[in-house]
Structure 1
Amino acid sequence: MVGSLIVIGFMTIISIALINGKALNMVPGYRTLPDKVKKTLDPKKVGRKLGIPMAGVDIVMIIFFIIVYFSDSEKLQGYAVYGMMLLFVVSIAIIDMINITGKDKKDK
């Protein structure tokens, strides 16, 4: 139970930081870009492109946690726990697979 709350809290903090354009160095695609390209990109646009899907995953994880906490059915609780684990892996894959393109450039 505590582990689930820690994971949900951690993922929510990362989502909020990404939406605000912070914590972009945690993103493998952004981290490996040359400095010239990083200067042309708008961090808020890139962060929103990554953070909004992550926030959706966080909301679903919170719903699964509520199901686990308040449900009397052990079978439903088991499905919700497996769903939370799957969503954690999916959220990591979202960060790895987002393509940072020229559409994220700063407006001049």
Structure 2
Amino acid sequence: MQRMGMMIGIKPEKIEEYKRLHANAWPEVLAQIKRSNIRNYSIFLREPENILFGYWEYHGSDFAADMAEMANDPKTRDWWTLTDPCQEPLATRNEGDQWSMMEQVFLME
């Protein structure tokens, strides 16, 4: 299992919409996340900086393939047409990434 963290900005005028969307996340999208070997997925909001922090635990063996499968899922792509306009990717993100992945530097179990 690999713990993974990521960050992205959120447009202030889209915060309520983003919260509403995630309060009613589509079952098909949640099922795809599970099929992509992701568990314990959480998104946190930090205001007034308007930063989203995402955390999940990846239980697969080929992260790139699982993410490609998710990106090819039509329902997930439809979901992203609603959520992506709410977000402001960080300028320092890797090319092609929406969210910026983070390095884990500490863990206490």
TM-score, normalised to structure 1, is 0.29
Higher relative contact order (CA 8 A, sep 6+): 2
TM-score by length of 2: 0.28
Q: Greater CA radius of gyration, 1 or 2?
A: 1
Higher strand share: 2
More helix by share: 1
